Structure 1
Amino acid sequence: MSDEKYKDRLLGHEYDGIQEYDNPLPGWWTWMSIGTVIFAIFYVMWMYMGLGGMTQEAELEAETALAQEMHPELFAAPDGGGSGPDMPPVDRAAYVGNDEAVAAGKEVFTINCVACHGVDATGGIGPNLTDNEWIHGGKYDNIRHTITVGVPEKGMVTWGPILGPEKIAQVAAFVYSLGGGEPEE
């Protein structure tokens, strides 16, 4: 083979004795690239702009409605917000501000909750319960709901079946009585 035959097709540079040919891309490669771009355009229009008949938001709403229909107990909450099973109604006044209920709640807290929230409830593994920052709401019903259903993604077990409604109401009254203070450094 003569180098003269391919001289027109050689690029004008050479590195370490290696020369590069100026060959066109294979046809299949070109058409695959063009096809990928066209597919991407239609995919975006279909999935994100709703040309397929449903946007992502509408699909989410439809699936949420179906889940609510199939499992209504999972979407029921004391405040109607939808984040756990129904809790039995409790007379809030019988627990909040009741010294006996708060003392009983402190006893249950000491047995079950100190390992994560600390002896003085200023946190440890679990969050601080004595400041004004509430992750899941600082109202009595929010506290009771959090204790009942737990926070599994953060490691807090579901105390509802373990403690029962009476002890949960007492612990919630105790925790509610702690709120608003500043922890010691």
Structure 2
Amino acid sequence: MTQPPQPPPGQNGPKLRNHVYDGIQEFDQRLPNWWLYTLYGAIAFSIVYWFAHMVAKVVPADGTQVDAEMARIAAVKMAGSIDVTNDDIFWEMSGNPVFVEAGKQTYTSLCAACHLASLRGKGENPAAVGPDLTDTAWIHGGTPKEVYHTVSAGVLAKGMPAWEPVLGQKKTAEVVAFLLSHHRKGEPVTVETPK
């Protein structure tokens, strides 16, 4: 093994280490400050980023952000073509958090006065005006399209107004999606006779 060449004594130049590995010789010098600051900055950033994501949960995780955006895109696609005669579309809407949240807001502002915020209506409070919307017994039909028809056309004899002329088809479908989110597809449905 040959010794690496050294600068002559008294001449300033880069110092070389005394070993050679695969024909490569290393300088024996301090790293530049800009390089060290970049390294230390990257380490500090990674610690702050880890703390914000993993410990403090200040920033939502990437998977959560992607899921929320995918739900929003699906909601926009579904809203463009709502077939109010297709039960499967209503069940799909009831699984979409964007539709359900929008329906919840509308329900809370307009329907909770009669059916209560818990959707339990007379099942929770006999003095309530509206029936229980969480059980499987329905007065005017329990399929999604029948629920939609009840919400959109109303039940004037019982004091429930027709909501579709006020809300429009999309918001009415969102309310139905919110109601269906408290049920399971295929659950047994009974139809009660109105009293």
TM-score norm. by structure 1 comes to 0.47
TM-score norm. by structure 2 comes to 0.45
